[in-house]
Amino acid sequence: MSFLGMLCLGLFVGGVIGLIMTQESQLSATSKTFTAIFCAAIGGGIGAFIQYIETPVGDAVYAYPMGLVLGFIWPFVKGSWALVREKDGVKKHPVATLHVVAVFLVSGMTFSVVMFPQFRSVLENAPVVN
């Protein structure tokens, strides 16, 4: 369960950052940039303070950055999905289609790694490329 908890924490923080970046509000580009940097610093700070949790997190700490990345990219799918849903959108916007499919595949693989120990063991035995 600690893997799922760390993933959800990352999804929340990454989702907040992604939503700030995708909002078409009265914030200027500079304000959005500073807000994103501030949120990223908070997200990194959470990772630093995880070591002080009383219960041992162990390898589950690696689920946090995966959730952070997924939470950040999901708000951007909204625009790609709107392009794909247009008439002949798949033919007109192949990059948007590829974006939506890739995010779904990566999300599914991440969920598999977090929820099933068999998938985590595959990652542990993967060769390291130098």
Q: Is-above-0.95 flag for pTM?
A: no
Distance in angstroms (rounded) separating the CA atoms of residues 130 and 124:
16
Distance in angstroms (rounded) separating the CA atoms of residues 18 and 36:
8
Mean pLDDT of 28-35: 76
105: confidence class by pLDDT, cuts 50, 70, 90 = very high
Residue 24 has pLDDT above 70, yes or no: no
Percentage helix, strand, coil, to 5, in the chain? Answer: 80, 0, 20
124: confidence class by pLDDT, cuts 50, 70, 90 = low
Q: Both tokens of residue 114? A: 């977090």
Query: Containing H/E element for 125?
Result: none
